[in-house]
Amino acid sequence: MARTTTTATCPVCGQTGARVWKTSDLVTSSSSSTNRGASTATGLVPDDLAITDRRYGTTLGLLECRCGFRFADPAELPDLVALYSALDDPAYEEGAAARSAQQRVLLAAIRRVVPGARTLLDVGAASGLLVGEALAAGLDAVGIEPSATLAGGARDRGLDVRTGVLPHPELSDRRFDIVALVDVVEHVVDPVGLLRAAREHLAEHGVVLVVTPDAASVAARVLGKRWWHLRLAHVGYFTQPTLSDALARAGLIPMKWWRPGWVFELGYLGERVGSYVPPVGRLVRRAGDSGLLRRTVPLNPRDSLAVIARAS
């Protein structure tokens, strides 16, 4: 008989007795496979964690704590830092224009709250898009990224993105007006520990920006286990109450909440919609490399949370 509750400890509140919310979608394959993109019964490979992965609804086994936080079954978790260190995601740069535009929107939103900010640390910086936008806006900006390939690509473009994770030995004595964690806390096994580490890097009157999918959003509730944010790379799923709890445990006090919008290329958006409506996907594929599909559009599905928090 399948188990319904576990002894796993919730990464947010520390309770045990989480129930099984979803079983793993990993399929058994030969451990000797040379396909980097193939998942095995014993864990994940770097390609499974790609930012551009579109296998919506495919996850490790997920547990749900009584506090409402959902998290990957610790029994199934591999060494995520090692996997991210080896990750290469060439498709990520194909959407750089749209991604940079949405980073500008986020940067403008946080600077309205902290207009005097002069320094920024971007945790999980990928190829440095937010770092680049912050520099263009006149901030002194640094990034940290575990993927050696993505961080190296950022440095090739003259951006200060250090390879590694937070805490980072090269930045131990640095303090920042803004510490950004944009779509990061859902990727780590110890989100409270990461938030504490971010707090340690705050300058006086500094703030932490957190953006993460909202597991209680209308889209999440309607789509259920087919929600587009249910992915192998995501090992923690927050709601506003559980993220508020995590912030409090990390010594942070929310100042402003909102639901951020995003910017998408029409082709990217059409491919993603095609995952749910196949005729749309076929139409996008027939269009090929059309200039129309490279046009960008703003969209807010209201499925994410953004919060600016200060030290308590």
Exposed/middle/buried for residue 40 (C-beta within 10 Å: 0-12, 13-18, 19+): middle
Per-residue pLDDT, 309: 98
Q: Which pLDDT belongs to residue 31?
A: 35
CATH of domain 91-214+241-265+294-311: 3.40.50.150
Exposed, middle or buried by CB within 10 Å (0-12, 13-18, 19+), for 183? middle
* Stated pTM of the model: 0.89
10-residue averages of pLDDT along the chain (312 residues) = 77 96 74 40 81 92 97 94 95 87 94 96 97 98 98 97 97 97 98 98 97 97 95 97 98 97 76 69 66 77 97 96
Q: How many residues does the chain have?
A: 312
Instruction: Please report the pLDDT score of residue 279 as a whole number.
Output: 74
What beta strand segments (E) does 36-148 contain? Answer: 62-64, 70-72, 119-123, 140-145
Residue 3 burial (10 A CB sphere; 0-12, 13-18, 19+): exposed
pLDDT the model gives residue 40 = 42
Could you tell me the two tokens for 257? 């909440």
User: How far are the Cα atoms of 18, 74, 130, 166, 256 from residue 305, in angstroms, in the given order?
Assistant: 24, 25, 18, 22, 11
Indicate the residue type of 198: A
The predicted structure's pLDDT at residue 4: 78
Q: Which of 103, 110, 95 is nearest to 124 (CA)?
A: 103
